[in-house]
Amino acid sequence: MTDGAHAATGPGRTPREVATHCPYCALQCGMTLREEAGRVAVLPRQFPTNRGGLCQKGWTAAELLDHPERLTTPLLRDPVGDELRPASWAAALDRIVTGLRAVQEGHGRDAVAVFGGGGLTNEKAYALGRFARVALRTRHIDYNGRFCMSSAAAAGNRAFGIDRGLPFPLADLGRADTLLLVGANPAETMPPLVRWLTEQRERGGRLIVVDPRVTATARLADLHLQPLPGTDLAVASALLHIALTEGWIDREYVAERTTGFEAVRRTVAGWWPARAEALSGVPVADLEATARALGTAGRVIILTARGAEQHAKGVDTVTGFVNLALALGLPGRPGSGYGCLTGQGNGQGGREHGQKADQLPGYRRIDDPVAREHVAGVWGVPAEELPGPGVPAYELLESLGTPTGPKALLVFGSNPVVSAPRAARIERRLRAVDLLVVADFLLSETAALADVVLPTAQWAEEDGTMTNLEGRVLRRRALRTPPPGVRTDLEILADLTARLRGGAGDADASDPRVVFAELRRASAGGTADYAGVSWERIDAHDGVFWPCPAEGAPDTPRLFADRFATPDGRARFHAVEHRPAAEEVCAEYPLHLTTGRVLAQYQSGTQTRRVAALRRAAPDAFVELHPDLAGRLGIGDGEPVRVVSRRGELRAPARLSTAIRPDTVFAPFHWGGAARANSVTNDAVDPVSGMPEFKICAVRLERVDEP
């Protein structure tokens, strides 16, 4: 019986319950699932991150378990009618293995690629990376987390030597005297976190939000800075300029705990507030008030999120705010620090154990000879047989089906037809491959294009671990077994591995507890060290914070108290300069488009668009524009409009709102089809992180006169 579950017993059949976590965002709210008379209910549970609170997505999460559109049998594309038809598992797996072998025999090992997801458990993310590099021996693996946290991860690694979204517990937010949120809208993306913002303000703290829109979070703020999209780095540089001028820099901290400050000081000397105002539109008075609130308060926390990061200069933008935090002496100081709000459910753990193109388990670099020897030893293969680094997600997707790119793709837990930038182009690339395999529990837009679709278990039907935005490793517990005909991702990977090797399946390879034990060995000694994290230890506490190098060793709720994870223990400043967006407005495309989320939907919407209550709350896509802009263009509220860029267009009803700047329009990215926001977005990428520029591109807005 699953740990933490109470099975139904006796003639009365008492309800079965299990303590687990929400399947959606990286807050990973604690919840209890109860099954009685075949129905599953979600109950609140006291847990440090949410303290019994859940958002509407969490409350309705169980509705997908028995959804009528759920996949319960493999599907194979009929070459004659070009339709997906039900098939047996044997036929589906044979088709996959035959196709993979044909592609690799004809074009080489790297002609097969794997694309994962930030919602996979740690065990599945680890197994997927091992499958790609050992069973397929391909260098081509990446995941949709590249579109989420990669810029903040790269900035954190080069500044601190480590990437953990929050290097302190979430509760610290409630005790901050000043809290600066940059490009973050947790009131809609992770609502239970607002409890900490409320607590912070009730304690007399000051909340400052930087966002081009007047979001639900911005409405809570004491001060809202509303910059032009793509100018956050100019704002960060001006804030540091003011702090230097006013003498708010912690010079002792800078001298003793950091390197590289002088180059940063010279760079920000030119970013006087009036220059930043002219570029960003943020008034000098607001910049000065923000710098004063940061520079004179006792406990200060700076957080960035997707609004600052999803740019072709996202790494430098985050670095600008990291520089500000270091200059003020925040990282490692009790109650203060810099952090990043991770988005996807396992966005943190999903990038630590081998899904990223350049990484091995434990956040080891795949081009590090010592790391390769260690992991190869755990995997029982020669280190020289492990492939080298692959390419980031967009580059991988964009190369599919080309003469030099992969000819086959396996997708687990992702929907790039909706989530990738320049999505129409990516859709064409997916159609061009010789073999597309998608493992999912619903027929997403990507699965609808596949040659083979494999039905997978849902979150309440499998055990495993997740790592939330704090670096807290949690236990996901199964309430029940998957429906007949459905397999877990671990079972699928184990079966494919066995067939590729011409042998029988390995039951241990599909057991999440066994896989986690191997993950612990593979991560031992790495940056993200899970060696001391056991399921039993997680069960005995409210999770375990990595790094945790041994079972008897303490875990690490707070990083950087004494040193940073760099060779000399010092944090690194990096001088960065603002540069324009990859695409600027012009006469033909005079407006800025920015994208984001809405409260009732999640990611590409594959799950949430199928939940009745969420569909009622947010039934359709929309284009948000300022009434002044609407008046100039003759557009009324609710009228259909077309947003056109150099790459494509989206169509949706207009929503007039003073929450948006008059020079900017906003569209949520949860919908496919004609309303697909990513048909329009720019595929320019950050040269360091590979992050596409989702948050700004040049567009024009047109009325749609026809119905």
Cis omega (within 30 of 0) for bond into 547: yes
**Residue 672 neighbours by CB under 8 Å, 6+ apart:** 417, 418, 445, 604, 605
Q: Is the domain of 534 the same as that of 637?
A: no
Output the six-digit token pair for 625: 């524009």
Contacts 24+ apart (CB under 8 A), 508-511: 509/127
| Residue type for position 134 | V
H/E element, 103: helix 89-107
Distance CA 482, CA 120 (A): 16
CATH number at residue 319: 3.40.228.10
The phi, psi pair for 168, rounded to 5°, reads -155, 160
CATH number for 666: 2.40.40.20
Instruction: Kindly compute the dihedral angle of the four CA atoms of residues 25, 30, 34, 40, in this order, to the nearest 10 degrees.
Output: -10
Residue 241 pLDDT: 98
Report yes or no on 558 lying in a domain. no
Over the range 43-53, which residues count as b (16 or more CB within 10 Å of their CB) and which as e? Answer: ebbebebbbeb
What is the strand order of the sheet 544-545 is part of? 464-467, 472-476, 544-545
Helix/strand/coil percentages in the chain, nearest 5: 35, 20, 45
Domain with 48 in it: what CATH number?
2.20.25.90
Q: Which pLDDT score, from 0 to 100, does residue 1 have?
A: 38
Residues 167, 316 share a domain: yes
The pLDDT of residue 13 is 60
pLDDT at 10: 39
SS3 of residue 78 by DSSP: strand
Predicted TM-score of the model (pTM): 0.95
Instruction: Specify if 577 maps to a domain.
Output: no
Distance CA 499, CA 595 (A): 43
* Cα gap 124→691, rounded to integer Å: 23
Residues 450 and 384 placed together within one structural domain of the fold? yes
Query: What is the reported pLDDT for 38?
Result: 86
Answer whether 92's CB lies under 8 Å from 455's CB: no
Considering the domain architecture, whether residues 528 and 384 belong to the same structural domain is answered as yes
562 occurs within a structural domain: no
Domain membership of residue 553 (yes or no) is no
Domain end, chosen from 291, 316, 341, is at: 341
Judgement on whether residues 139 and 261 belong to the same structural domain of the protein:
no
My answer on whether 386 and 334 are in the same domain is no
Q: How far is CA 437 from CA 127, 498, 586, 636, in A?
A: 17, 17, 41, 44
Asked if residue 586 is part of any domain, the answer here is: no
* Cβ contact 435:103 at 8 Å: yes
Residues 671 and 611 occupy one common structural domain: yes
Six token digits for residue 634: 């003759």
Instruction: Taking each helix axis as running N to C, give the angle between helix 512-523 and helix 369-379, from 0 to 180 degrees, rounded to the nearest 10.
Output: 150
677 assigned to some structural domain: yes
By the 10 Å C-beta count (0-12 exposed, 13-18 middle, 19+ buried), 541 is classed as exposed
Contact 179, 206 (CB under 8 A): yes
User: Is residue 308 located within the same domain as residue 390?
Assistant: no
pLDDT at 450: 98
C-alpha–C-alpha distance, residues 550 and 489, integer Å = 29
Residues of the chain with pLDDT under 50: 1-3, 6-12
Phi, then psi, of 306 in degrees rounded to 5:
-60, -30
Residue from 319, 396, 325 nearest 357 by CA: 396
Domain boundary among 545, 575, 599: 545
Identify the pLDDT of residue 705. Answer: 82
For the chain, the C-alpha Rg in angstroms (whole number) is 25
Q: Are 591 and 665 in contact (CB under 8 A)?
A: yes
What burial class does residue 284 get, using C-beta atoms within 10 Å of its C-beta: 0-12 exposed, 13-18 middle, 19+ buried? middle
> In the block, which residue shows the tokens 């919908």?
671
- Residue 324: both structure tokens together: 């500000």
Residues 258 and 330 in one domain: yes
- The amino acid at 158: R
Q: Which of 21, 40, 64 is the last residue of a domain?
A: 64
d(CA 412, CA 28): 20
Q: Which tokens in the block code for residue 337?
A: 């620090």
Residues 430 and 303 in one domain: no
- Count: domains in the chain: 4
CATH number at residue 415: 3.40.50.740
In whole angstroms, what is the distance from residue 570 CA to residue 565 CA?
8
24 in any annotated domain? yes
Cβ partners under 8 Å of residue 482, min gap 6: 457, 458, 461, 462, 488
- Containing structural domain, residue 654: 591-703
pLDDT at 483: 96
Residue 566 lies in a domain: no
421/485 same-domain check: yes
Are 374 and 410 found together in one domain? Answer: yes
